Amino acid sequence: MSLANKSLKDIAHSQRKKHRFLFAGLFFMMGYLIFSFFFGDMGFFNFSKMRHISAQSRQEIKRIENQNADILYEIEGIRTDPFYVEAIARERLGLVKKGEIVYEFYENGGAPALGGNTD
């Protein structure tokens, strides 16, 4: 009967080894899954970073769309409104009509040097 008991002990021992092996495998698998959930290529931290970049990109797109709308408004004004063209020529290019007098105001009360020597 000791032989039968020994074989039962061997069976129980081998089953414990299998259970330990399965438990260790499951433990490492769960560790890998948890690690990849947080730190993997498509993990939580990368996902958060990508969401932040996406929000920044949407803001940049909105800013550029607003700039485009302003430019289109300016183009339409240049094409259709001669007074708008005149206003741009006066503001950006400093052009004046014949006979107009231009007054220039400077901060700190001083006018810039004219480039000549006054000795």
- For 19-45, the pLDDT digits (tens) are 899 999 999 999 998 888 888 888 888
pLDDT band at 92, cuts 50/70/90?
confident
What residue has token string 């920044």? 56
Say if pTM beats, i.e. exceeds, 0.85.
no
Is 88 in contact with 78 (CB distance < 8 Å)? Answer: yes
pLDDT band at 1, cuts 50/70/90?
very low
Q: What does the domain layout of the chain look like in residue ranges?
A: 15-96
Is 109 in contact with 119 (CB distance < 8 Å)? Answer: no
- For 72-85, the pLDDT digits (tens) are 999 999 999 999 99
